[in-house]
A = this chain, B = another copy of it.
């Protein structure tokens, strides 16, 4: 659902090693990662994070995984991939019929999981020709699905870094994001000291998106801390 730039995955898994493993592989492959340690937390995070995919371990402490699948399906269409140690056919049939979209037996291969994740997300993207997630502020409109930004309804061009920065700001709209956090999200964690980059790119964004770049109304500096995007 979160159409900004990266697809996001919610992993519901109580075993820490597998969770860590999934976090690494998924983050490495361009997914933003969220986690829940039990069914209850999983349900609430599906609602709050709106992930584009749920990966769900059947053996959770507080609720049967099949039951959880059914609960999710009562109100959400988010793709679900079930992981399980159980290889019996009966389990697979139950999970799939409960509403799961795929079923993988542990141990599974990373590449296969990633490929099946792509299939699940591809399905979801095609389903209802859902409206793109569009964010507006001032005279600016951002269509993340089309990667299109308009100012006063005239299309304008953003470079990759400009767009990534804008996306990061939108992702955390309304709140302050620290320099470190922004640099990590856009350039990677080796660049957390290059606050210089932010100054240059914020200036470029303001020049393109603000009516008066010298008096920004939306791309706000939080001195000594970071930046924030004011919507409205």
Contacts and interface: CB of A to CB of B under 8 A. Distances in A.
Interface of A: 77, 89-90, 92-93, 96-97, 100-102, 109, 111-112, 114-116, 118-119, 123, 126-129, 145-148, 159-160, 163, 174-176, 189, 222-225, 228
10 contacts: A89-B112, A90-B111, A92-B109, A97-B115, A115-B189, A123-B127, A146-B228, A147-B228, A159-B223, A160-B225
A112 B129 contact: no
Given A93-B115, A100-B119, 5 more contacts: A90-B111, A92-B115, A93-B112, A93-B114, A127-B128
Nearest to A226: B147
Contacts of A115: 92-93, 96-97, 189
Contacts of A101: 119, 123
A228 B123 CA distance: 21
A42 B222 CA distance: 37
How many chain copies does the complex carry? 2
A90 to B, nearest CB: 7
B96 A116 contact: yes
Contact of A147 (B77, B175, B189): B175
Contacts of A126: 77, 127-128
A78 B145 CA distance: 25
Contacts of A97: 115, 118
Given A118-B96, A145-B175, A160 B112 contact: no
Contact of A146 (B92, B118, B123, B175): B175
Contact of A174 (B77, B146, B160, B224): B146
Contacts of A146: 174-176, 228
